[in-house]
Amino acid sequence: MVTVVAEALGHETAVLDADLLGHGLGLLARQQIEGTAQQGDQHVVVSDRQLELVAHGGGGVALGGAPGTAAGTGHLDPQVPAGGQLVEMMAGHIGMQVEGPGHLGGGDALGRFTGQQVDLPSGRVAERRGDGGDDRGELRRREAGLVHGSSVPTAMTGHPGEVATTSRGHRTGRSTIGDRSDRGRILLVRDQQPTGLVTWRCMVRTTRWKSVGRAVAVIGVALMVVAGCTSKSDSAAAGGSLVIGAEQEPDCMDWVGSCSGSSWGFWMANVTTMPRAFNIVRDGDTYAYKPSNLLTGEPTVSSSPVQTITYSINPKAVWNDGTQITSADFKYTWDQIKNGSDIYDQSGYKDIEAVDASDPQKAVVTFADGVQYASWKGLFGGGYGIMPAHILEGQDRSAVMTDGYTFSGGPWVIDSWEKGVSIVLKPNTNYWGDKPKLDQVTFKFVADTTSEFQAFKAGEVMAIYPQPQVDAVEQINAGLSGVNKEITANTANVEAMWINNAAAPFDDKAVREAVCYSVDRNAVVKALFGGLGVTEAWNSFDPPVLAPYTDTKAFAGCTKDLAKVSSVLTAAGWAKGADGIWAKDGKKLEFTFRTTSGNARRKLTAETLQTQFAEAGMSMSIDTQKAGTLFGEMLPDGDFQMALYAQVATTFDPGNCTLFCSENIPSEANDNSGQNFTRTNIPAADPLLAAVDTDLDEAARTKANKESMALLAADFTSIPLDPLPNILLWSNKIVGPVSDNGLEGPFWNMNQWGLKN
């Protein structure tokens, strides 16, 4: 038996028999492929971009394959000169291409090439080796119209899966998830003192999962070699670099500015670099606030004569330049949020009367007379963190932070941000807590849902946090070699059909009610997420983790009933035209449905809804936008009629005022800082929504929250759809307590991760 040596670029070398390699290919491709060597050793080289079989000596490689599930036999002419090039086609062929004479075997011959660039039909992947021995050649992929790549890893075009943001401030609310919104709120823990509400953010997590067809063969080997040919020890080595696939790129890193609505931005760069007063700690399926290592312990709280919070700062806490973190940083952060313009969310901060910074080690926060703020634990943290006064005071904060910053009070420092390509983090050597084990972490922006999953399986990235796609879920459930997974249905997410209540035709309540009766939400949700155990529509704007504090049946009456659609619209003066579309005052009931681009599942959802709305007599067109555009511009400006995205809670308290209170409709009056993108205006709901944020009695807050949810449902302000499940996948080469934190994201404890020895 000829030996095949598997080299994983810098990793240990493992020896496999040639028939084992062939068997592995067969398993992963679901097609049997036998590999034999004619002369010389075969080297399997796994790089960040390609897998090659290079024949050394005067012989070549012969590969044969049964058709299996793939088209064609994938047969290769056995007489191939040394230096041949592996060509892998998603249509189901594996062949060898060489410089000079030779041809590809297989039903769909690609023709020959001699070191020149080859443009392949859709669905095939080719690699070539250039004239020089060190030339990696050019890799071109055509998938669904995308072309990625060249010899070195290149940014993949397409839309990463953006995020929009909704509330911010201390992030006391929830986050929208355009795919997933970035921050949101937190749920109160039963045995704890109420801590207030949380803000939400719009985040779009585009899922990049899709069947990869025959490409699984080569891609599967890459995973097998990279993740499997290692020491059996689970201990983590010091150092090493980790590459993580990121579905979206933030619009900016000015966390308190209205541009910072990206959940991915929060997860990648905020949680990892910004100090905060409290962390949100996961304990099974629940969460709780815990003082961070910035503080010496729980703050002192006084409610008489006014609410006062005293934070005692850890004397070991320093910025990465060695300067102590002090009460001046608390005061600067509060001042910027309360008195700044174009702020993401001022909730809580606007109610603070003063921050006493006379003692550098104690920040004394005093609320205005008459204000009792229940969500105070979400302040000076959440989606913002605490900013360094000694660096930013007297400067244009937004200008300094927007494109990335060099300061850090967390375990990581932002080393670089190459727009459209990646964000690189390196350890903060002055961090006073657990210092990172890794030398570097690169978040690589991946173009679309298909590409993300392929990059993960190819070993180009070692962890992904994708939105669920139907075909990807099938592959995950079938099992992936060398991969760990965590799938959570009890999430902090709510995906909904968000309606602009101030834009025609939805400024007519009757039309919003008709929407409620036009869609079979259960059927849509079951088709999309049934494989993950989610089979019914969600009926609240609060996510599953907040179920004890909300009316989980508030929107249960929104079921498909075309007779009700007809009754409601007819009573409101609408009439069906000859084309089957409702019309009133000469205007048809037509609208544009906006969502994020690059997300196959969301596209499928939009098309399904389009069909159902047509059956109800409504004309819907679909428009996809980059998350940054949708969440950073269109939603705040009210430039939409209906949109599909998700809100993600980032704090553990109930509270929807930031999303639905009329005072939070973006306007000149609030410096466009509000997050009530749906322009909801229900006078009776405003005081109830406000009470959820301010009442310190948990039972009273819960009652107010349920009553306000009932009013939102009665007004059909928007229609919830599903609790978007969370999926975290990572290579088994990553060592450490890897787990998803639905409120702070999957990288909240990345300083404890390492790579296997």
Render pLDDT for 36-59 as a digit per residue (tens, 0 to 9): 222 233 333 222 222 222 222 222
For residue 585, the tally of other CB atoms under 10 A from its CB is 6
Mean pLDDT of 392-404: 97
pLDDT of residue 20: 25
Q: Give the model's confidence band at 234: pLDDT under 50 very low, under 70 low, under 90 confident, else very high.
A: low
Contact 667, 674 (CB under 8 A): yes
Task: State yes or no: pLDDT of 279 exceeds 90.
Answer: yes
Peptide bond into 291 cis (omega under 30): no
Mean pLDDT of 218-235: 31
pLDDT of residue 235: 65
Query: Which helix (DSSP H) or strand (DSSP E) does residue 199 occupy?
Result: strand 199-203
pLDDT of residue 345: 84
Kindly report, residue by residue over 351-382, the tens digit of the pLDDT: 999 999 999 999 999 999 999 998 899 999 98
Residue, of 320 and 345, whose pLDDT is higher: 320
Mean pLDDT of 474-484: 79
pLDDT of residue 757: 79
Q: Give the model's confidence band at 17: pLDDT under 50 very low, under 70 low, under 90 confident, else very high.
A: very low
Give CA–CA dist 727/745, Å, rounded: 11
Residue among 500, 518, 472 at smallest CA distance from 206:
472
Which residues, in sequence order, are CB contacts of 284 under 8 Å at separation 6+? none
pLDDT of residue 127: 28
Q: Give the model's confidence band at 478: pLDDT under 50 very low, under 70 low, under 90 confident, else very high.
A: confident
Q: Give the model's confidence band at 669: pLDDT under 50 very low, under 70 low, under 90 confident, else very high.
A: confident
Task: From residue 619, give the alpha-carbon distance in Å to each of 307, 314, 575, 587, 610.
Answer: 52, 59, 14, 12, 8
Please report the beta strands in 579-722, taking only residues with DSSP state E, as ranges in sequence order. Answer: 582-584, 587-588, 590-596, 619-625, 642-649, 719-722
pLDDT of residue 589: 98
Contact 510, 569 (CB under 8 A): yes
Give CA–CA dist 411/750, Å, rounded: 9
In eight-state DSSP terms, residue 318 is B
Query: pTM for the complete prediction?
Result: 0.65
Mean pLDDT of 112-122: 28
Angle at 356 between CA 299 and CA 321, to 5 degrees: 80
For residue 235, the tally of other CB atoms under 10 A from its CB is 9
Q: Give the model's confidence band at 571: pLDDT under 50 very low, under 70 low, under 90 confident, else very high.
A: very high
Task: State yes or no: pLDDT of 524 exceeds 90.
Answer: yes
Least confident of 112-121, 255-264, 284-293, 613-622: 112-121
Query: Which helix (DSSP H) or strand (DSSP E) does residue 20 occupy?
Result: helix 18-29
What one-letter code names the amino acid at 315? Answer: P
Q: Are strands 173-177 and 199-203 parallel, antiparallel or unpaired?
A: parallel
Task: State yes or no: pLDDT of 283 exceeds 50.
Answer: yes
Q: Give the model's confidence band at 713: pLDDT under 50 very low, under 70 low, under 90 confident, else very high.
A: very high
Task: State yes or no: pLDDT of 497 exceeds 70.
Answer: yes
Mean pLDDT of 273-294: 91
Give CA–CA dist 393/407, Å, rounded: 14
Contact 173, 347 (CB under 8 A): yes
Q: Give the model's confidence band at 387: pLDDT under 50 very low, under 70 low, under 90 confident, else very high.
A: very high
SS3 607: helix
Contact 83, 129 (CB under 8 A): yes
Q: Which domains, from first to last, does the chain contain?
A: 3-148 (no CATH), 213-249+411-490+729-738+746-756 (3.40.190.10), 257-407 (3.90.76.10), 493-721 (3.10.105.10)
pLDDT of residue 471: 67
pLDDT of residue 88: 30
The residue with tokens 């796609």 is: 469
Task: State yes or no: pLDDT of 619 exceeds 80.
Answer: yes
Mean pLDDT of 519-538: 91
Q: Give the model's confidence band at 93: pLDDT under 50 very low, under 70 low, under 90 confident, else very high.
A: very low
Task: State yes or no: pLDDT of 607 exceeds 90.
Answer: yes
DSSP string, 242-311: EEEEES---S-S-TTBTT---HHHIIIIIHHH---SEEEEEETTEEEEEE-TTBSSSPEEE-SSS-EEEE
The residue with tokens 């049964």 is: 66
End-to-end Cα distance, the chain? 30
Kindly report, residue by residue over 129-144, the tens digit of the pLDDT: 222 222 222 222 222 2
Give CA–CA dist 446/245, Å, rounded: 6
Give CA–CA dist 717/723, Å, rounded: 18
Residue among 172, 208, 538 at smallest CA distance from 376:
172
Mean pLDDT of 423-440: 98
Q: What average pLDDT does the chain have?
A: 73
Contact 345, 658 (CB under 8 A): yes
Q: Give the model's confidence band at 490: pLDDT under 50 very low, under 70 low, under 90 confident, else very high.
A: confident
Residue, of 630 and 211, whose pLDDT is higher: 630
Residue, of 521 and 146, whose pLDDT is higher: 521
Contact 464, 245 (CB under 8 A): yes
Q: Give the model's confidence band at 263: pLDDT under 50 very low, under 70 low, under 90 confident, else very high.
A: confident
For residue 623, the tally of other CB atoms under 10 A from its CB is 15
Give CA–CA dist 54/43, Å, rounded: 6
SS3 of 391-448: the string is: HHCCCCHHHHHCCCCCCCCCCEEEEEEECCCEEEEEECCCCCCCCCCCCEEEEEECCC
Task: State yes or no: pLDDT of 22 exceeds 50.
Answer: no
Q: Give the model's confidence band at 155: pLDDT under 50 very low, under 70 low, under 90 confident, else very high.
A: very low
Task: State yes or no: pLDDT of 74 exceeds 60.
Answer: no
Mean pLDDT of 521-544: 91
Which of 104-113, 127-136, 378-387, 422-431 is the most confident on average? 422-431
Task: State yes or no: pLDDT of 64 exceeds 90.
Answer: no
Residue among 649, 542, 661, 547 at smallest CA distance from 200:
649
Residue among 7, 32, 20, 8 at smallest CA distance from 94:
32
Mean pLDDT of 141-170: 27
Torsion, Cα of 94, 98, 100, 106 (10° steps): -10
